Amino acid sequence: MKEKLTLVYPRCEDAIRTKRLRILLEEVLAAYEVEIIQSADAFDSLQNRRIIFAISMGISGINLEYFRFLKKMRTQPGIFEGSVGGIIVDGESELYTKSVARELMFTANRGGCSFPGRAMVEGTKDLLNYNIQAMKLETDNLTAYHISAREMVKRVMSHQLLQKKCANILVLHASNYSTSNTAGLWDMVKKHLEHCEITELSLRNGTIQDCSGCPYRMCMHFSEKASCYYGGVITKEIYPAILACDALLILAPNYNDALSANITAFINRLTALFRKTQFYQKYLFAIVVLGYSGGDLVAEQMISALSMNKTFRLPPRFSMVETANDPASIFRVEGIEERAAVFARGMMETLVEKQ
């Protein structure tokens, strides 16, 4: 009997513009029993499903039916509870595919959908994004696109919870604990975590140097030793802690609608370790605090860099996003303790076996 899969495939009436994606889907989904949903009016919830979201963008980066889906996702909490998803975005431009994909992943994740590592496949206009993969596979770019999609679907279909009696959580931050609202919120979450071993490491100024783009062979040479040419706290403390952890939690205040320089440097330096050891078996969590707005932008950056790229798993509602400006004002946000407890409970449901 074929495994069942739900294809969320927002309708696009232009048969020529959708041909490449349609052919890809027919090939990579042939082994499954597929339910196709093309209209936002055709469903109320998609809970406890295996879902592939397939979006045809055209040259404009806009699919009007997709935006109707997006509205429904954002206005129905729990719409994807218990589901596991993957995303394929196909466009006729070198732009827009990834921004649409990470917006979709962020939204679906807030609706309860989890994603395995590297759960996004994109096809840009000329498929130039497959140059390296095609070279490694000794094939053409279109075939590499199909192979990537097929492997991603397999990851979605085989995805299962990874739980332990005691989970190892690595917390990375670049905060001044005496004034940081982000650190204050983490303290609220931490006190509700049970059966977890927690390691907290700082990436404060002076402890981390950004990646300078070493030649590939040099990076691989140091990667074989789980190291990096530039050394420092990254190789001495962060790399071993990443290898040991079951989950990575990043404390990420919003700095000008972006991750802070030190967090960004950490992600860039992670490449050397990633070349040898991928992170499909590790979860990603985030606590994002913003002074005014833009928390979704910061969370989406982490989705793109660490889940789509570096292969960390995305559990349901991976991020807690809150607004607090003045020092210590996080403690005065209405209902914050309750939301911190809910976020901690979600972490334990993902990471810890029932005791």
In this prediction, residue 354 carries a pLDDT of 87
Q: Is 143 helix (H, G, I), strand (E, B) or coil?
A: helix
- Rounded to the nearest 10 degrees, the angle between the axes of helix 216-223 and helix 261-274 is 80
- Find the length of the chain: 355
In this prediction, residue 61 carries a pLDDT of 85
Any residues with CB less than 8 A from the CB of 331 and at least 6 apart, and which? 184
DSSP 2-37: PPEEEEE------TTTTHHHHHHHHHHTTTSEEEEE
Query: Where, residue-wise, is CATH 3.40.50.360 in the chain?
Result: 4-158, 167-351
Distances 53 to 153, 169, 185 between C-alpha atoms, Å: 11, 30, 33
In this prediction, residue 176 carries a pLDDT of 74
In this prediction, residue 214 carries a pLDDT of 46
In this prediction, residue 271 carries a pLDDT of 87
Residue with token string 């279909």: 157
Query: Which residues are 319's β-sheet partners?
Result: 286
DSSP 330: G
CA 109 to chain centre: 9
For the chain, first and last CA: distance in Å? 35
Distance in angstroms (rounded) separating the CA atoms of residues 287 and 172: 11
pLDDT tens series, the chain, 355 aa: 789 999 999 998 776 778 999 999 999 999 999 999 999 999 889 999 999 999 998 888 889 999 999 999 999 999 999 999 999 999 998 999 999 999 999 999 999 999 999 999 999 999 999 999 999 999 999 999 999 999 999 999 999 999 999 999 999 998 777 679 999 999 999 999 999 999 999 887 555 654 444 444 444 434 444 444 444 567 788 999 999 999 999 999 988 899 988 999 899 989 889 988 999 999 999 999 998 889 999 999 999 999 999 999 999 999 999 999 898 999 999 999 999 999 999 999 999 998 7
Query: Which residues are 352's β-sheet partners?
Result: 164
* Domain range 167-351, CATH class: alpha beta
Distance in angstroms (rounded) separating the CA atoms of residues 193 and 188: 10
* Superfamily (CATH H level) for 4-158: Flavodoxin domain (3.40.50.360)
